[in-house]
Amino acid sequence: SPTGERSCGRSTGKTSKALARQYCQELIAAGKLWTGETVTFRQYAEHFFDDDSQWVLERTLNGKQTFADRSLVLNKQTLDVHLLPYFGKYKFSDIKPSVVKRYRIYESEKGLKNKSINNIIGIFSIIVRSAMADCVINFDPLLSVGYLPTDDSEEINAFTREQVISMFSHEWDDDEVKLFALIGALTGMRISEILAIRKETLFENYIDVMDQRIKYELKPLKTKEARYVPITKKLYELIKD
């Protein structure tokens, strides 16, 4: 379990069911047999996509992930902005398919498109699979929760003023992720371009976007055309610090 207590089934070493049951009751009374029922989603998932988390380190070890990957930044942002605010106080074991379906309705009523909601649920599923493997939960909350239909031709519009205010008005769990999102919202820069910001490209009233950072390395821009992106003095101060 996340607390170091037992969570998965193991032999008690007893010779009968009665003795095994008595042994388990003694462990429960002593607080040594953990069932996962008290762990909240926030307790399990809050640091799931941090650079030094077990999930990230394991994927890096297997060559599947690097700390600078765009997907990792997006995962952290989705966790902070969408998943933790809604599911954070739930006991993980209380998140059933009906809860997840209500969450999708909640995001839809806020104005998110089906494609965006599907992406959020996809990131949620990564955490769910890990929790099931760790025996934190013994039931799949995504069972019977399929993907919502999407219209690939749907026009993608910019955020409204109200959506931006809502996004940045609540407390974020990771200041670095919030800064990444803020830079992207104010400049339209890609995440790989934001990762490439450094002292020689940052100026008081603009960012010299000349390259992008992919897997630690600076690479040519996707469009291969450098550009100056204007910024406010306040944003400059935030990035510089």
pLDDT, tens digit, 9 for 90 and up, residues 22-64: 766 666 555 555 555 678 999 999 999 888 888 888 877 876 6
Give, to the nearest 10 degrees, the angle between helix 97-109 and helix 114-133: 150
pLDDT average, residue stretch 162-191: 81
Does the model's pTM come out above 0.75?
no
Question: Hey, what amino acid is at 176?
Answer: E
Tokens 């003795």 label which residue? Answer: 19
The per-residue pLDDT for 219 is 83
List, in order, residues 6 or more apart from 23 with CB less than 8 Å away.
12, 14
Rg (CA), the chain: 22
Pick the residue with more confidence: 85 or 162?
Answer: 85
Provide the token pair at 128. 């769910």
Distance from C-alpha of 28 to C-alpha of 7, rounded to nearest angstrom: 12
Residue pair 48/130 in contact (Cβ under 8 Å)? The answer is: yes
pLDDT average, residue stretch 195-217: 88
Q: Is 234 exposed, middle or buried (0-12, 13-18, 19+ CB in 10 A)?
A: exposed
**Does the structure show a pLDDT above 60 at 232?**
yes
- Going from the C-alpha of 87 to that of each of 17, 38, 195, 211, the distances in angstroms are 38, 14, 29, 38
pLDDT average, residue stretch 212-234: 82
The per-residue pLDDT for 10 is 57
Confidence of residue 89 (pLDDT cuts 50, 70, 90): very high
Provide the token pair at 23. 């042994």
Least confident of 13-17, 171-175, 177-181, 236-240: 13-17
Confidence of residue 1 (pLDDT cuts 50, 70, 90): very low
* Structure confidence by residue, pLDDT tens digits, 100-147: 999 999 999 988 899 899 999 999 999 999 888 888 888 899 988 888
Residue pair 120/107 in contact (Cβ under 8 Å)? The answer is: yes
Distance from C-alpha of 73 to C-alpha of 78, rounded to nearest angstrom: 9
The per-residue pLDDT for 163 is 73
Give the closest residue to 36 by CA, choosing from 141, 143, 132, 140.
132
The per-residue pLDDT for 2 is 46
Distance from C-alpha of 194 to C-alpha of 207, rounded to nearest angstrom: 10
